[in-house]
Structure 1
Amino acid sequence: MSGSPHEEEFDSLLDEKPLVIEVQGGVFNRLKGCASRTAFICCSVSLNIALAVTILFLLWMPERQITLGCGTSIVEAQQQGCTYDQLTLRWLPQTCSRVGLREYLDANSPTGWKYWLDNEGTMPVQNISTYMNGTALYTTEREHLTHCAYQLIRAADGLNKRGAVDTRARDFAHNHHCAMRLLGAAMESSRLDEITTFVHNAFGTCIVER
């Protein structure tokens, strides 16, 4: 027995309800999928930006310097593995550059460079490495100029390699002093006005350390 028209319409609506729910569920799933993809994209972009900022920071970060010392006495220096560097008249860590030392020592071989405790040369120094920090020592102009030449070479080598060099090699005032002392000695040469040198023009470059 068939029902009334109203009952048939109601039954029809009941039959369509799962379809409506299914459609709504599909829309919800699609919205959920879109939200997940959006969140993933946002996270990926954020991570990439963070990575880029970190790389730029590392590239622009000033060079970090580590200072190595040798204590305040010969005993402490030896205990820390330091060795005496006659070019700088200092105990230095083993990792510190010794560029120029051999050439400096060979420049006055076989007698070696001489030092005195007085400027009259009456009190010779037997072993310069045994004298305490701050001891006033005297030497010759030849030694001074040779020291300056190889100290500047060490400074240039340290700048080129960005390696471990002593504080004298990094000290502008000392390097300026050495350069002026060498220039002063050179200006006393009798060949200053002779045509002995040729030079080249060139397009140079500038290296910026970061």
Structure 2
Amino acid sequence: MSSKLGKYEPIEEGREDTTASKYPITQPTPTLIWIAFGASIALCAAAIAFLAVEIQWHSVTPYTQSLYPQSKSQKYTCGNSTEEAKQRGCTFDILSMNWLPEQCPRDETQEFIDYSANETWVYYRDRHAEHPIKSTDELSELGDKFWWSTQREHLVHCAFMILRLHKVLERGGKIDHLTGSFGHTKHCVMMLLDASKADPENDRVNTPGNIALGSC
């Protein structure tokens, strides 16, 4: 029996491995490293910029909150004249000195009337108090003409108007344009503050107070 063995040829020196030649192992160059580093920095900067814009947006965008949800509803008006106001079913409100639709609140009107019964002020057609207005009906028919009264009447009007504002906010619902006007409320507050300076008794130390823990 005989067997034939294949011949083995010695590997020549300097011959490269075929696997290594097909799949060469390359080392990253300094340029690639810097590119990757720069891309990472850019992504971080973009993320920080996005967060900064979000924070700035929420800090400058007004957050509106009210005691009750605001919904679009019909606006009721009394027209452009006393006659038109009557035709639309509006009635005269002596507290606000306005003809108002029936849908508008009348909080504190009766309280104002009751308080006025114990006061001495009178409404006049002129500044010199020579032509008194005899009734509420006559007062309500003045239209765009001026009426005149005392500073005390003005202050009491302001106090009850502020009470009306608070009651409507607490309850929710419609509010007439004068009661809801910040300009009018500020005017009334300043009137009350100025009046408080006129009485020397207001400088006496006679008012106690305490510190409380509030909530909102």
CA distance in 1, matches of 2:205, 2:213: 25
Query: 1:30: which partner in 2?
Result: none
SS of 1:104's equivalent in the other structure is helix
Q: Does 1:145 align with 2:155?
A: yes
Shift, 1:177, TM fit: 0.5
Counterpart among 184, 197, 200 of residue 207 in structure 2 = 197
Instruction: Give the secondary structure class of the aligned counterpart of 2:200.
Output: coil
**2:55 corresponds to:** none
Find 1:109's aligned residue among 117, 125, 132. Answer: 117
Letter in 2 for 1:190: P
1:188 partner amino acid: A
Q: Deviations over 1:132-188 (max 9, x none)?
A: 1x2111111111011000011111111111222211111001100001101111122
Tell me by how many angstroms 1:71 deviates. Answer: 1.3
Q: Is the 8 A contact 1:68 1:93 kept in 2?
A: yes
Map of 1:85 onto structure 2: 93
The 1-side partners of 2:70 and 2:95 are apart by 30
How far 1:194 sits from its partner (Å)? 2.0
Distance 1:182 1:110, change over 3 A: closer
Which one of 162, 181, 198 corresponds to residue 171 of structure 1?
181
Gaps of 5+ in 2: 1-68
Is this contact kept in 2: 1:105–1:112, CA < 8 A? Answer: no
Compute the displacement of 1:94 (Å). 1.3
* Identity across matched positions, percent: 33
Alignment correspondent of 2:164 = 154
Structure holding more helix per residue? 1
Scaled by the length of structure 2, the TM-score of the pair is 0.61
> Which one-letter code corresponds to 1:70 in the other structure?
C
- Give the structure 2 partner of residue 131 of structure 1: 142
Q: Distance in 2 between matches of 1:70 and 1:113?
A: 28
**What is aligned with 1:76?**
84
| Secondary structure at 1:84 match in 2 | strand
Q: What is the CA–CA distance in structure 2 between the aligned matches of 1:203 and 1:159, rounded to whole Å?
A: 23
Equivalent pairs, count: 145
Q: What TM-score results when the alignment is normalised by the length of structure 1?
A: 0.63
Supply the RMSD in Å over aligned alpha carbons: 2.0
